[in-house]
Chains A and B, each alone.
Chain A
């Protein structure tokens, strides 16, 4: 039956008046492990995939790492599909424009080959975190965290000799997460102290486990020992030894054994390569091609580097001045440009978020070089 009431143009329940003032990040206790349902993130940054459908997500604003159990989510179509103008599509879905969103990280679920994207919606201090999934049909889903089981662990508190002196201006960004051998490794940068600390904690998170915070130093050409934050890293094993290959802010590529990451230890990494000036690593993945293993690393200004790992275990540390880039040689992958995010899809492909000719971002599966 036809209604006789004229159809009004949609009533927009405009939430303008309620430009939400997101609660300030909670005051952090010394060490806090929470298990619960429906996590409320303040921000979203680096991610890592663990075993059994666990997605680790950093909330840098709250200095907290969440382990999200996504196994009860309605699955997407398995596989992946390239999305042209991914930034426009995500922005439109979120009711805004590309300039108002930031894609902080990309991780591919190895079981489903769906991509997870960590997105911040908005550029104001009240920006909202959003977890987005792209499935094999190219469908962009916003993953609601309502009903999602989680456990979370807070990072160690920043030291403060005078906590009553007023609000601290310190913040901590989390630049990289990796899960390896039952442990989660976390690298971050402070807006104040120039520390070189890597923090690790076992998963499942336990109240008693405060994690280990380790100072990571590296040598330089001139017999100097310096500290610098680790920016990106990837777990790597050679000859039965578990290592981390880490890229520092001041560009050295450094190897150190995971076994050395004991609480309170000062670890000296072996500088195996230097990657040049004006550059910052973004993502690192390991893959095999024709029986040889390679590290693929995307960078802000030096493209994507393909570095053979066969000499990682034996390379002598760089301790003498060498002009130009030094240490293990790498090849710049000419076919991969404008890469902003990089992860492995399968044995032969990576998935990237790459700048397109129009200045936007595409999600693409790309053959490994």
Chain B
């Protein structure tokens, strides 16, 4: 019988590890249903009296310690987005990017928002156990509690917004957060920013500037916005197509604290009419969308149909 020994030592759980046993003349083979954990100790007890052909020998118990994969913490926080030094007080979410894949643990207990006196802002983040990692577990999404961010919702009435315009804050990420190897971060991380006025207007496409590239080049199409937009959504909510609706392949980069989107096509621009495609899922830092603020007044007068799924802005390549 094989048992996992708890991390704090001791005699191990009484429950056997699930797996298959095979007995031959010289050995018992145990194949666990799930791979053994690296770094864990397993207790193995063999009772010859329980063999298919029982023997009268006394039972043998031993422990087998498996090697760990890595010992030295190396993962770090690479950056925290948005990049801007001032965030609206109704900021909706933050992205924490790591240098290496992290564990599946919820990040909430490792993240602290401190005010300008160094006091923790309690209840700032949404208490969620859902997995807000990107597919390779290198980016964690942190939602500021939308019930506190949105006006007219009870938590907002009771506690106010977690961020207050005019004040300075520091986001601290504890080094105790485990990476995918089960090791803590190599260092804790601090990021300071200021809170500014709330952003409550919808994204206005009319305020965007498009710098059209020249035909025959692979110069970037540069789109600038008056205020920062969400880093995660910018990467997939904008695209370029020809007048005939053919999507262009290309590389996207973001700049100037997420107020600039650059697109370099895979092949040289052809002269003619093009369109910048803006999907309706695009949000600014406070969750406002194109043509629709996060919070819409005059509830009774809103449409009963969903908004269009995409918008387009024409530009000409000459």
- Sorting the interface of chain B by its residue count into under 10, 10 to 19, 20 to 34 or 35 or more gives 35 or more
Query: Considering the complex, which residues of chain B in the window 258-275 have a beta carbon less than 8 Å from any beta carbon of chain A?
Result: 263, 266
The stretch of A18-26, A200-208, A345-353 in contact with B is A18-26
Q: A224-B150, A228-B146, A266-B306 are in contact. Are A173 and B4 (CB under 8 A)?
A: no
Q: Is B214 among interface residues, defined by CB-CB distance under 8 A?
A: no
- Given A10-B28, A192-B233, decide whether A92 and B15 contact each other with a Cβ distance below 8 A: yes
By secondary structure, the B interface counts as loop
Asked if A215 contacts B3 (CB within 8 A), the reply is no
**Given known A-B contacts A123-B105, A164-B250, A300-B127, A16 and B155 have beta carbons under 8 A apart:** no
In the complex, the chain A residue whose C-beta lies closest to that of B263 is: A162
- Does A250 have its Cβ within 8 Å of any Cβ on chain B? yes
Chain A interface mostly helix, strand, loop or mixed? loop
Contacting pair A194 B147 (CB below 8 A):
no
Name, among A128, A130, A164, A319, the residue most crowded by chain B CB atoms within 10 Å (CB to CB). Answer: A164
| Given known A-B contacts A120-B104, A124-B104, A192-B232, A95 and B157 have beta carbons under 8 A apart | no
A226 vs B298: C-alpha distance in the bound complex, in angstroms? 11
Q: Mark A298-342, 1 if CB is under 8 A from B, else 0.
A: 001100000000000000000101111110000000000000000
Inter-chain CA distance A189–B250, complex, in Å, is 29
Contacts of A219 in B (CB 8 A): 299
Indicate whether A19 sits within 8 Å of B38 (C-beta atoms), given known contacts A102-B104, A223-B297. Answer: yes
The answer, yes or no, to whether A225 is at the interface (CB within 8 Å) is: yes
Chain B, Cβ-Cβ closest to A300? B127
Given that A3-B53, A161-B239, A194-B93 are known contacts, is A274 also in contact with B153, CB under 8 Å in the complex?
yes
Question: Which residues on B sit within 8 Å (CB–CB) of A168?
Answer: 135, 235-236
Q: Is B34 touching A121 in the complex (CB atoms < 8 A)?
A: yes
Q: State whether the Cβ of A252 lies closer than 8 Å to any Cβ in chain B.
A: yes
Q: Is A92 touching B4 in the complex (CB atoms < 8 A)?
A: yes
Closest beta carbon of chain A to B313's beta carbon, Å: 12
27 CB contacts below 8 A, A to B, read A2-B55, A8-B27, A10-B27, A10-B44, A61-B135, A94-B33, A95-B18, A96-B4, A100-B37, A123-B178, A161-B236, A163-B247, A164-B266, A168-B135, A168-B235, A169-B135, A169-B235, A170-B232, A170-B236, A194-B287, A221-B153, A222-B151, A223-B298, A223-B299, A250-B155, A265-B306, A321-B157
Instruction: Give me the interface of A with B, judged by CB distance under 8 Å.
Output: 1-3, 5, 7-16, 18-20, 24-25, 60-61, 88-89, 91-97, 99-100, 102, 120-128, 130, 140, 142, 158-171, 173, 175, 189, 191-195, 215, 217, 219-228, 249-252, 264-266, 268, 274-280, 300-301, 319, 321-326
For the complex with contacts A121-B34, A194-B92, A194-B93, 11 further pairs of A-B residues with Cβ separation under 8 Å are: A9-B62, A10-B44, A12-B64, A16-B36, A92-B16, A123-B105, A167-B136, A168-B135, A192-B232, A217-B302, A225-B299
